[in-house]
Amino acid sequence: MHGAQRGARSGATTGQVYRWVDDKGVVHFGDQVPAEYAPIDREVLNQYGVPVRTEQGLMTEEELEAERKAAAEKKAALAAARRDEVLLSTYLSVEEIEALRNRRADLISGQISVTQNYLQSLRDRLKLLQGEASNFRPYSKDPEAEPIDEKLAQELADTSDSITLYEKTLQDTRARQGRVLVGFDADIARFKELKGL
């Protein structure tokens, strides 16, 4: 591809001569390749007329897409082979994979429990703060109420923000636990397949 782009430029400054055969079988020579012949593969000749290398012509969009697809498939196959290799070299049995899965799940469950407890304490704190704030404007219905103290207002906002943050953390941790379990289930199924179990 890149060679083709270089080949389409003038070869006069490099002393290169190109030789290519068109779709009618006619052989052409030139120090540059005209645009209409850019898709055709060609040979690069040295000053003695001896071929020194071959350059690929410009590829069509379909050829480029096919090449990209083939490269992606090859990369995926290599990655899958590497995962299989790691799986077989890491574990001796399905029970080992299940034990690690259970330890990971328990660890994440512990994180979820800590987050839930902290969230509950934040919600309890917010409830107290809201009760306190209800005596002040703008939360009180009493038109004679004093405006809320700046410190109390800030604490209300900070506690509310913390609750939002930890709710998001809890949601993310639960999603991560789900992904971990799905990943281990896939590893167990693949291990059984590779071992013929």
Per-residue pLDDT tens digits for 142-171: 888 888 888 988 999 999 999 999 999 999
Count Cα atoms within 13 angstroms, Cβ side, for 47.
Answer: 4
The Cα 99–Cα 68 span in angstroms is 40
Give a yes or no: residue 152 inside a domain. Answer: yes
Residue 117: pLDDT over 60: yes
What is the percentage of the chain residues whose pLDDT exceeds 90?
Answer: 51
pLDDT higher at 55 or 106: 106
The Cα 160–Cα 147 span in angstroms is 20
Residue 191 and residue 100 share a domain = yes
Query: How much is the pLDDT for 59?
Result: 67
Query: How much is the pLDDT for 5?
Result: 39
Residue 175 and residue 106 share a domain = yes
CA distances from 22 to 49, 154, 176, 185 (A): 19, 78, 58, 56
Query: How much is the pLDDT for 14?
Result: 55
Read off the pLDDT of each residue in 61-65 and give the average, rounded to a whole number: 77
Q: Is 16 helix (H, G, I), strand (E, B) or coil?
A: coil
Please state the φ and ψ torsions of residue 152, each to the nearest 5 degrees: -65, -40
Residue 95 and residue 190 share a domain = yes
Centroid of chain to Cα 187: 20
Name the helix (H) or strand (E) containing 153: helix 150-195
Q: How many domains does the chain have?
A: 2
Give a yes or no: residue 67 inside a domain. Answer: no
The Cα 98–Cα 86 span in angstroms is 16
Residue 88: pLDDT over 60: yes
CB atoms within 10 A of CB 144: 6
Residue 96 and residue 39 share a domain = no
What is the percentage of the chain residues whose pLDDT exceeds 70?
Answer: 90
Token pair of 147 as six digits: 């405006």
Residue 50 and residue 95 share a domain = no
Residue 105 and residue 46 share a domain = no
pLDDT higher at 56 or 122: 122
Give a yes or no: residue 84 inside a domain. Answer: no
Residue 97 and residue 149 share a domain = yes
Instruction: Label residue 11 by pLDDT band (50, 70, 90).
Output: very low
Yes or no: say if 132 and 159 are a contact pair by the CB < 8 Å rule: no
Structural domain that includes position 122: 91-195
Residue 109 and residue 45 share a domain = no
Residue 109 and residue 48 share a domain = no
Give a yes or no: residue 65 inside a domain. Answer: no
H-assigned helices in 91-149? 94-133
What is residue 36's DSSP assignment? G
| Average pLDDT for the chain | 85
Read off the pLDDT of each residue in 122-134 and give the average, rounded to a whole number: 92
